[in-house]
């Protein structure tokens, strides 16, 4: 998303966020929704709303997937599938619903990536999965980007098998088309149901059957509900309507037994230290403006009560324990204001120094020992550079922090509030380090370096290349090139660019942060910790 304003207000960013989300919820558009209704079908989001317990929260994962992508193919809003964590008959579960209003629910490359992310969350947290299937299968013009590789379409069936072996319940409802390789997903689930007259499942449709073997047959006879419930036994039961089928899923879930938990500590929740409006007001939208991250932390935690660890040491990282919605958490957050060390030295906010990295590593170890989930709040420019930092062992201390964070066995949750640059993204538990959930605020920027620094570097490379070709570059040419490079780079800095590619699970209103953390820990509590924390070999 580009706002055209170098200093947008938070209100403006939140307005853009809400408008973009409302557009995403329309899927393939109002006319496509009408066509689904005319067939007697609910849309993907309507099915989820009907299925889940009334008055409960739904944590959507990947709402902005494929945003701005596949424009030549007409776009693919939300990747053509809706995924998220919700409650069905009192049980927390992962719900995956194909959106037939988007290219008949066909699978694009990002559709596959999003489905795999949903399965990954289910496996990590041992959550049961509900698949609401309504898909035309692989989008053939892009089959080379979705079919054969390790993280492509077939990986979901491998995950089906693995989850069954792990004892994770999977229930599938065939509520529309289910063809070719996609037919394996519901049938590899533990229970498969189908809606009569609108649901169908087969490896090859009637046209392909005619072409391949010369047989003339209609799709309903080939793979409709009656065929598979009464003749083949492929599906377990058929239902007259979407609603009847969804009601049956609810009945299954109200009888599922309970597994051991991870016993993360929770007490009665208290209101946060700041109101939602005050929290928003406390966070500057100007990325170069310093602020006190401690105020943001206290604004997120119950009663503003935060027990800081090593308060006077390593001040560019804030570490400490608190409660969020009653859950005990350990928080690691980048301090954005300029701080003064005991030696009288000034340290830049948002930069990780040796002492800060050392402190964070020790704090992460403590949280693992005490089974306290970790929350990372990113607004980081990277690690300190220069001769003094290098002579002081910044690489060694940074490695200690990354080692402790990467080997952490308690669940980790990451939020990108502002900057997320370079190795700072890694150390503060970026996507590559397996956070259970990772979300951005609309103020976030994610890249190797800041826009200004990157644009000037790229300009120098571009100009040098042109001069090698013997071209003369005027100051006006340089300015035009810089503007072009800056515009492209700023677009790639956008949190929606990251969300589109699933570098983050979504972009949220800051006031939703507590909900994400609470539901995330509740989900993680379904999976007892079986690994032992070990940081391996690191220099001390």
- Specify if 270 maps to a domain: no
Domain limits at 326?
276-444+504-526
HSE, CB side, 13 Å, CA atoms: give it for residue 275.
Answer: 3
Residues 173-197: tens digit of each pLDDT: 999 988 876 778 888 999 999 999 9
Three-class SS of residue 419?
strand
- Parallel, antiparallel, or unpaired for β 382-383 and 351-352? parallel
| pLDDT in single tens digits along all 540 residues of the chain | 333 334 358 999 999 999 999 999 999 999 999 999 999 999 999 999 999 999 999 999 999 999 999 999 999 999 999 999 999 999 999 999 999 999 999 999 999 999 999 999 999 999 999 999 999 888 878 888 888 888 888 899 999 999 999 999 999 999 998 887 677 888 899 999 999 999 999 988 888 888 899 989 988 999 899 999 999 999 999 999 999 999 999 999 999 999 999 999 999 999 999 999 999 999 999 878 899 999 999 999 999 999 999 999 999 999 999 999 999 999 999 999 988 888 888 888 899 999 999 999 999 999 999 999 999 999 999 999 889 989 888 999 999 999 999 999 999 999 999 999 989 999 999 999 999 999 999 999 998 766 677 667 777 887 788 778 888 878 887 787 777 777 777 788 899 999 999 999 999 999 999 999 999 999 999 999 999 898 765 555
Nearest to 225, CA basis, from 206, 203, 204, 197: 197
Residues 43 and 133 in one domain: yes
Same domain, 199 and 125: yes
Q: Are residues 133 and 221 part of one domain?
A: yes
**484, part of any domain:** yes
The CATH number given to whatever domain includes residue 399 is: 3.90.226.10
Which of 220, 254, 288 is where one domain is finished? 254
Number of domains in the chain: 3
pLDDT value of residue 473: 78
Both tokens of residue 515?
């909900």
Domain assignment present for 70: yes
349 lies in the same domain as 234: no
Q: Is residue 250 part of a domain?
A: yes
Task: Answer yes or no: are the C-beta atoms of 146 and 107 closer than 8 Å.
Answer: yes
Q: Are residues 105 and 245 in the same domain?
A: yes
| Helical (H) or strand (E) element with 346 | strand 346-347
Structure tokens given for 523: 């989900």
The answer to whether 144 and 108 are in contact (CB under 8 A) is no
Q: How far apart are CA 259 and CA 265, in angstroms?
A: 17
Q: Do 381 and 320 lie in a common domain?
A: yes
Whether residues 389 and 347 fall in one domain: yes
The verdict on residue 164 lying in a domain is: yes
Residue 76 lies in a domain: yes
Determine phi and psi for 40, rounding to 5 degrees: 80, 15
- Do 403 and 303 share a structural domain? yes
CA nearest neighbour of 40 among 158, 157, 134: 134
Residues 156 and 191 in one domain: yes
Q: Is residue 263 part of a domain?
A: no
Report whether 447 contacts 489 (CB < 8 A).
Answer: yes
Give the total residue count for the chain. Answer: 540
Q: Is residue 268 domain-resident?
A: no
**What angle do the packed helices 155-166 and 109-125 form, to 10 degrees?**
10
Of 190, 173, 139, whose CA–CA distance to 48 is shortest?
173
What pLDDT, in 10s, does the model give residues 133-157?
A: 999 888 878 888 888 888 888 899 9
Do residue 119 and residue 228 come from a single domain?
Answer: yes
Same-domain status, 291 and 414: yes
164 and 282: one domain?
A: no
pLDDT confidence of residue 3: 37
Whether pTM > 0.75 for this model: the answer is yes
């Amino acid at each position: 998303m580009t706002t055209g304003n170098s200093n947008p207000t938070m209100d403006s960013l939140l307005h853009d966020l809400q408008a973009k989300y409302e557009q995403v919820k329309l899927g393939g558009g109002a006319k496509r929704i009408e066509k689904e209704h005319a067939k007697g079908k609910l849309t993907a989001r309507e099915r989820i709303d009907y299925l889940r317990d009334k008055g409960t929260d739904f944590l959507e994962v990947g709402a902005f997937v494929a945003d701005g992508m596949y424009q030549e193919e007409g776009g693919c809003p939300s990747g053509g599938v809706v995924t998220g964590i919700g409650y069905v008959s009192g049980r927390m579960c992962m719900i995956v619903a194909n959106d037939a209003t988007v290219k008949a629910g066909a699978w694009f490359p990002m559709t596959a990536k999003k489905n795999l992310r949903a399965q990954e969350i289910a496996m990590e947290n041992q959550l049961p999965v509900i698949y609401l299937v309504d898909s035309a299968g692989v989008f053939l013009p892009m089959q080379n980007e979705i079919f054969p590789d390790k993280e492509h379409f077939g990986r979901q069936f491998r995950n089906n098998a693995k989850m069954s072996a792990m004892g994770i319940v999977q229930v599938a409802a065939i509520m529309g088309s289910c063809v070719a390789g996609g037919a394996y997903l519901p049938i590899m689930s533990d229970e498969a149901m189908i809606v009569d007259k609108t649901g169908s499942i087969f490896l090859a449709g009637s046209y392909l059957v005619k072409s391949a073997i010369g047989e003339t047959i209609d799709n309903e006879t080939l793979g409709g509900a009656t065929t598979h419930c009464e003749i083949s036994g492929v599906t377990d039961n058929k239902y007259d309507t979407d609603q009847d089928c969804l009601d049956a899923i609810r009945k299954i879930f109200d009888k599922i037994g309970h597994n051991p938990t991870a016993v993360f500590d929770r007490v009665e929740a208290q209101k946060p230290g700041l109101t939602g409006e005050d929290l928003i007001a406390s966070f500057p939208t100007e990325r170069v403006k310093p602020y006190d991250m401690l105020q943001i932390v206290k604004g997120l935690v119950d009663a503003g009560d935060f027990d800081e660890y090593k308060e006077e040491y390593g001040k560019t990282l804030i570490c400490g324990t608190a409660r969020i919605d009653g859950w005990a958490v350990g928080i690691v957050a980048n301090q954005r204001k300029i701080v003064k060390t005991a030696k009288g030295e000034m340290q830049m906010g948002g930069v990780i120094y040796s002492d800060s990295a050392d402190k964070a590593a020790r704090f992460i170890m403590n949280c693992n020992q005490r089974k306290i989930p970790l929350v990372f709040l990113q607004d980081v420019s990277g690690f300190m550079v220069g001769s003094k930092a290098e002579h002081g062992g910044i690489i060694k201390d940074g490695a200690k922090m990354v080692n402790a964070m990467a080997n952490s066995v308690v669940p980790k949750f990451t939020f990108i509030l502002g900057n997320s640059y370079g190795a700072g993204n890694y150390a503060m538990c970026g996507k590559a380090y397996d956070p259970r959930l990772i979300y951005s605020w609309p103020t976030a920027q994610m890249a190797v370096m800041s826009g200004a620094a990157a644009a000037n570097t790229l300009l120098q490379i571009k100009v040098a290349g042109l001069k090698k070709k013997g071209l003369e570059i005027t100051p006006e040419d340089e300015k035009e090139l810089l503007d072009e490079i800056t515009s492209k780079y700023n677009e790639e800095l956008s949190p929606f660019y990251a969300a589109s590619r699933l570098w983050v699970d979504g972009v949220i209103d800051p006031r939703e942060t507590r909900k994400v953390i609470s539901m995330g820990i509740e989900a993680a509590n379904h999976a007892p910790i079986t690994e032992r924390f070990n940081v391996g070999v690191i220099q001390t």
